[in-house]
Structure 1
Amino acid sequence: MITHTYTSALRWAGRTVDYDSYSRRHHVTIAGTTTTLSAAAAFHGDGDVPNPEQLLVAAASSCQLLSFLAVAAHAGVEVLEYLDDAEGFMPDDARPVRLTTIILRPKIVARGATCSEIERLLRKAHRQCYIANSLTAVVTLEPEISVC
């Protein structure tokens, strides 16, 4: 059995004198690329840089794309374009506080399959998506498909 391992490195420095004033900015390095992150603006963070919640939504979106491209290629379906406007929802009254829902809205242009076949492949890819399978949040698909 193989266990795949994924790593990141995080760095923060500052002072937590009180809750309202400490910096939420920190740096994460993944595969040699360093990105500045912060808490969401609603949690005293910097809204001009990505936050962990956005990264989680992006990870779910990216994983769905990669899973779909793989199942489509195996099925002989030519995917010409894939766009997604994903959204994550974190209600204040959920306990523990968490993203409870992620909605993926892939817009797909493909050739070599019907809309119903593309929808079937999307569902198959969703079942195989590592990120969606790792989450307690409900991840749903709302696709828009164009077949050439």
Structure 2
Amino acid sequence: MAKKHTYTLSVAWTGDLGSGTSAYDAYSRDHLVREANKAAIEASSDPAFRGNPARHNPEELFVASVSSCHMLWYLHLCATNKIVVTGYVDEAIGTMQEDKDGSGRFIDVTLHPRVTIGAGNDAELAARLHEDAHRYCFIANSVNFPVRCEPSIEVSTL
């Protein structure tokens, strides 16, 4: 039987500038994302949609979720395969297509993880484990567009 996990959080709009949503440009898109016992995430909409550029937007957080899920699976797989990872940075890029009517969707995400592994580790195995991480990633398995991974592996000289 499959396990089920439930995630509960609160999203609270904080952008009433005094007249609510009386007009499209009369309110801020600022909001807080909260989960019990964790720091709140200050969020807004993308600046292209009148959002606050100093805050994270849902699209950025979505791409971060894909990247983070892949990374966490990758680190797990490296640990169980005796690959010692000493550094991991991903420069993930997500592309969203906006239609003429204002609707839209993500059409792809490409991950660019730069991984450093310890001297004496198997760089080929380390590279292949990205394929397994992709196969296991909960977020990548939940989207209807391609998620690509273009990793680079560096072996530490220390």
- Matching residue's letter, 1:50: H
* Alignment partner of 1:19 out of 10, 24, 34: 24
Moved more, 89-98 or 16-25: 89-98
**Aligned residue runs from structure 1 range 46-57, under 5 A:** 46-57=52-63
Bigger radius of gyration, 1 or 2?
A: 2
Alignment partners' CA distance in 2, 1:70 and 1:94: 42
Partner of 1:107: 114
**Aligned residue runs from structure 1 range 1-148, under 5 A:** 1=1, 2-13=3-14, 14=16, 15-32=20-37, 33-93=39-99, 96-111=103-118, 112-148=120-156
Show structure 1 runs of 5+ residues with no match.
none
Aligned residues: 148
- Matching residue's letter, 1:88: G
TM-score (ref. length: structure 2):
0.86
Show structure 2 runs of 5+ residues with no match.
none
Alignment partners' CA distance in 2, 1:110 and 1:94: 46
SS at match of 1:3: coil
TM-score (ref. length: structure 1):
0.91
SS at match of 1:107: strand
Alignment partners' CA distance in 2, 1:92 and 1:119: 34
How far 1:94 sits from its partner (Å)? Answer: 8.6
How far 1:114 sits from its partner (Å)? Answer: 3.0
Alignment partners' CA distance in 2, 1:86 and 1:132: 13
CA RMSD of aligned residues (A): 1.8
SS at match of 1:50: coil
